Amino acid sequence: MTYDLFIGDRLFSSWSMRGWLMLEKFGLPYRNHMIGLYSGTMAEDMKALAPARLVPALRLPDGTVVGESLAMAETLAERHPEAGMWPRDATARATARWLCAEMVAGFNALRGECPMQLQHCWQGFDPSPETLTDLDRIETLWAHARAVSGAETGPLFGDYSLADVFYTPVAARIIGYGLPVSEANRTYCLELLADTPVRQWRAMGLTVTYDPFPYAMNLPSQPWPIGGPSDATPVEDGPSVNATCPYSGKPVTHFLELNGRRWGVCNAFCRDKTVADPGAWPKFTAMREAVNDS
């Protein structure tokens, strides 16, 4: 039983990130399909999913198409109760659903003024009063979630849940635009962004280049605080330390250099995602550590 997940450009599509995390974080089997948000092919790419018209969209194993993130979340939670996507406690579960629903329906100023982008952090961004109001509401909701769950740090309801999925792109906006929140909430945002799947999502997004860069601002920037800048570089040829790709086990065909050594993978995408953030990939890290220990 495998789901088909249709997503847009990883660096910018906050809703696609939510759809992907629902499946990735809870260990549900899926295949990714890319929809061209910035290539001009979106309408054509979405035709087979009609009447769904936005990403993410999910096709169930029986062919049923589910659009809209909250509907996807409820469908997956219903189909996989063992995955624990919502909190087990009834009060916490109701509160988590409330937080997700308000995220879907609200925070228009924050979303409009601060489009998600995962490449770097803007410096000197001046949020509008409306965006500050949205941030205050978000902090109120997070405080309420912690009062209900008793979790002072980490995921909002103690164990990772769909509430954390839905607010991960909010965390990316807060960090990416240097938005004012409490130190405790900034720490929570950084914890969400440091999670290995989120680092992987960003690294895969960095394999695509954009000219011009969407949502450019006339502001200085600084590097993303997690997983970069990378010390790895792509190279044209080997030989590499390893003969087989750490991801697929296939013979290596593409190469990168890191800390004076050349490593091989089985395709350009694997090379580029590894170059973007070598520390995001446990299989690559395990290979390096095994070589260093030998």
Q: Judge whether residue 228 has pLDDT over 80.
A: no
Q: Are 274 and 284 in contact (CB under 8 A)?
A: yes
How many Å separate Cα 19 from the centre of its chain?
Answer: 9
Q: Judge whether residue 294 has pLDDT over 90.
A: no
Q: Judge whether residue 95 has pLDDT over 90.
A: yes
Both 97 and 190 in one domain: the answer is yes
pTM of the predicted protein model: 0.97
The total number of structural domains in the chain stands at: 3
More confident residue, 1 or 200: 200
Evaluate the omega torsion of the peptide bond into residue 278 and state whether it is cis, within 30 degrees of 0. no
- For 30-89, write each residue's pLDDT tens digit: 999 999 998 889 999 999 999 999 999 999 999 999 999 999 999 999 999 999 999 999
Residue 206, in any domain of the structure: no
Both 102 and 61 in one domain: the answer is no
Both 268 and 285 in one domain: the answer is yes
Q: For residue 241, give every residue at least 6 positions away whose Cβ sits within 8 Å of its Cβ, in sequence order, or none.
A: 261, 262, 263, 264, 291
Residue 263, in any domain of the structure: yes
Among 83, 114, 141, give the residue marking a domain's end: 83
Q: How far apart are CA 104 and CA 106, in angstroms?
A: 6
Both 95 and 187 in one domain: the answer is yes
**What is the model's pLDDT at position 9?**
97
Nearest-5° Cα angle at 38, 191 to 219? 60
- Please provide the distance, in angstroms rounded to a whole number, between the alpha carbons at the two ends of the chain: 40
Q: For residue 112, give every residue at least 6 positions away whose Cβ sits within 8 Å of its Cβ, in sequence order, or none.
A: none
Residue 253 structural domain: 233-293
**What is the model's pLDDT at position 292?**
85
Question: What's the CATH code of the domain at 38?
Answer: 3.40.30.10
